Structure 1
Amino acid sequence: MKRASRKFASAIFLLLWIVGATAGNAVGQSERPLRVAWSSISSSQVILWVAHEAGLFKKYGVAAELVYIPSGPLIIQAMLAREIDIAQTAAPAVVAANLSGANLVVAAGINNTFVYSFRVRSGIKTVGDLKGKKIGVTRIGADSHTAVVFALKKWGLDPDRDVTVLQLGGQPEILAALQTGIVDAGPLSYPQAGRARQLGISELADIGGLGIPYQGTAIVMRREQIETSRELMLRFMKGMVEGIYLYLNREEFAMSVIGKYSRIKDRELLAETYRINGQRYLEKIPYPTIAGVQNIIEQLALKNPKAKQARPEQFIDSSLVAELEQSGFIRQVSGAREVMGR
């Protein structure tokens, strides 16, 4: 009898240990920070920075770890390897990955146009002057490269024949190459575009003002996350959306965040970056742009036959933004205050 009691007690102890260990693992999994990648030291990334610095993700019960990966294609590779949970990057790499079998979606559109100022060295006064010149981009296939391709085609130039495109690594590297003459032109986002202005490197065009629909900076998730971890993804999106309105209504704080991540202290540059981003580029209700994704598909179809049968809706899931709008959350966080750009 005593032996049976000891066996029973041992069994209960083992059961409790297993339950405890399982519960502990579950807690550990739920507390693991979301690894959120961002792709460029530019104002296009500022809403993620603002939401993080203001503690908005924590406000909605989300632990988020920000990771800088300076390339859209590299970010997508990290997402496919499950090293990154959510990304803030442009859509071309998402569309390209899905055409190869991935299952990623654009869940929100932060910038639904190009956010680049096309800067040129002295001697280039017109679009025609670009023929035979060298243009710097961050990486081939990255957002800055896509912007150059679309702009050149808009101007009637062939990106493959009329210019030479060099990949330089990042926005600061493009600016440095413009200064030293390694390249003759390049797309710069703010604040680097503002610094170029200060250095006398003139603007040939605001690419975002060319009227080209384009899914620029976006929030990218795995489709399965929206289905199986919807509440967590929704809480993350709440932080992002509130970040938009915090940015628009707290200028000094937003400027300080831009300065921290760009390592710029020049108040003139920070103010210019804040103003231009809010007025020209930032979506107030961040639905993705179907027309912008369609443009990306058509561009990829020139070299990838799979893209010819694709539809933009395949790459978009705007249900989180729609839920936040329909629930009144966006109206609540926007408040009754006047918002920049309205």
Structure 2
Amino acid sequence: MKRLTVAVVSRNYFNLPLWIARTAGLFAAEGLDVTIDHIEGIEEVNARLRDGRAQLAYGVTEHVILDAEAGGRSAIIGGNVNKLPFSLIARPGIEGLEGLRGKRIGVSSLRAGSSSLVMKLLAARGLNWPTDYELVPCGPILARWDLLRSGGIDAGLQGTPLNRIAMEQGFVSLCEPRDEVPHFQFTSLDTQLDWASANRDTLLPFLRAFLRAHERFYVEREEANAVAVAETGIEMRHADLAWEEYTRDAIFPRDGEVSAAGVQALIETSALIRDLPSRARAQAEDYIDRSWLAEARASL
């Protein structure tokens, strides 16, 4: 069995295709022993991919762009969260995005990820960081949920199904970012190109299992829901709500591919927010290597 490690962010629904591949024996069928390393912190996921502790990652796509601009060898080779499955959830009593003036908003990191999206949404309402609100780097979705419930933050993006759970508990949704930004590559399957080139006989079997897992997610509803419940601890009804949204809106790509439109939207949002206007002239495909997935698909 060939061994490899995939770094992922926390135990959230985003990881479901990998969990399905492991539970259904798709990795084992390809002769792979895959460790899924759940990490609380998006910066650490990126660091482990760069230094080789992980060979693949479900990482925040903006990190790949930042790394490539700095001369790194990171590349996007597959999709993950190709559209935004979020609501901007706030504590009761806050009304509208304008109600976030002077408030504390939880984000995964100040450097990349949810912070760019929050800044873009609020700038459209005349609220600018850092003068009009505070961003609190508190880690991924589960950490933001804990802080929202404890009062440590006033608002934060929550992904399906935690957004639905939050509203059931009396929290309010200020907006659905996907309504305003229909295409946005939030996370993707990433690797280092040097590792990929040197380990073709490991990467291609992994990608075959990756492709099969995405198709299986769409056609095996009960199995997908059972895996989600076992891995995240959510209730079955919430797992089913998530499955409906993710399949209806193609949040997980059925073909495993990254969204060029989603990456382009991310580039332009990040360039606007992070004062790197040259990045807005870059093309999405500059950061994507589709050859690996194409070769794996041809060998199925």
The two structures have a TM-score, normalised by structure 1, of: 0.79
Matched, 1:317 2:286: no
State how far apart, in whole Å, the 2-side matches of 1:130 and 1:158 are: 11
Ranges in structure 1 where 5+ consecutive residues have no aligned partner: 1-30, 330-342
Cα distance per residue 1:156-201 (max 9 Å; x no partner): 4323332211122332332232223322211011232222122111
1:99 to 69, 76, 101: 69
Aligned residue in 2 for 1:256? 226
Aligned residue in 2 for 1:303? 275
Q: Is the alpha carbon distance of 1:206 and 1:40 closer, same or farther for their aligned partners in structure 2, counting shifts above 3 Å?
A: farther
Aligned residue in 1 for 2:47? 77
Aligned residue in 1 for 2:195? 225
Aligned residue in 2 for 1:178? 148
Aligned residue in 2 for 1:110? 80
2:30 to 27, 35, 60: 60
Count of residue pairs the alignment pairs up: 297
SS at match of 1:33: strand
Q: Is the alpha carbon distance of 1:328 and 1:207 closer, same or farther for their aligned partners in structure 2, counting shifts above 3 Å?
A: farther
SS at match of 1:297: helix
SS at match of 2:81: coil
CA contact under 8 A between 2:12 and 2:142: conserved in structure 1?
no
Q: Is the alpha carbon distance of 1:107 and 1:42 closer, same or farther for their aligned partners in structure 2, counting shifts above 3 Å?
A: same
CA RMSD of aligned residues (A): 2.3
SS at match of 1:63: strand
1:236 to 195, 206, 212: 206
State how far apart, in whole Å, the 1-side matches of 2:245 and 2:112 are: 22
Q: Is the alpha carbon distance of 1:137 and 1:308 closer, same or farther for their aligned partners in structure 2, counting shifts above 3 Å?
A: closer
Quick one: percent identity of the two aligned structures? Answer: 23
Q: Kindly report which structure 2 residues correspond to 1:104-143, keeping only aligned pairs within 5 A, or say none.
A: 104-143=74-113
State how far apart, in whole Å, the 2-side matches of 1:303 and 1:56 are: 43
Quote how far apart the aligned CAs of 1:328 are. Answer: 8.1
State how far apart, in whole Å, the 2-side matches of 1:276 and 1:142 are: 25
Quote how far apart the aligned CAs of 1:229 are. Answer: 2.4
Aligned residue in 2 for 1:28? none
CA contact under 8 A between 2:246 and 2:252: conserved in structure 1?
yes
Aligned residue in 2 for 1:269? 238
State how far apart, in whole Å, the 2-side matches of 1:191 and 1:261 are: 14
Q: Is the alpha carbon distance of 1:210 and 1:290 closer, same or farther for their aligned partners in structure 2, counting shifts above 3 Å?
A: same
2:173 to 203, 215, 218: 203
Q: Is the alpha carbon distance of 1:251 and 1:231 closer, same or farther for their aligned partners in structure 2, counting shifts above 3 Å?
A: same
SS at match of 2:147: helix
Q: Is the alpha carbon distance of 1:117 and 1:41 closer, same or farther for their aligned partners in structure 2, counting shifts above 3 Å?
A: farther
SS at match of 1:34: strand
- The one of the two structures with greater contact order (alpha-carbon pairs below 8 A, sep at least 6) is 2
State how far apart, in whole Å, the 2-side matches of 1:118 and 1:282 are: 20
State how far apart, in whole Å, the 2-side matches of 1:187 and 1:318 are: 30
State how far apart, in whole Å, the 2-side matches of 1:80 and 1:328 are: 28
Quote how far apart the aligned CAs of 1:123 are. Answer: 2.0
Cα distance per residue 1:276-318 (max 9 Å; x no partner): 2222312112222233323333344433477467443331101
Cα distance per residue 1:27-47 (max 9 Å; x no partner): xxxx45111111133222211
Q: Which amino acid aligns with 1:239?
A: A
Matched, 1:151 2:111: no
The structure richer in helix per residue is 1
**Range that drifts further, 304-313 or 105-114:** 304-313
State how far apart, in whole Å, the 1-side matches of 2:113 and 2:224 are: 24
**Range that drifts further, 137-146 or 34-43:** 137-146
State how far apart, in whole Å, the 2-side matches of 1:106 and 1:189 are: 22
SS at match of 2:32: coil
Ranges in structure 2 where 5+ consecutive residues have no aligned partner: none
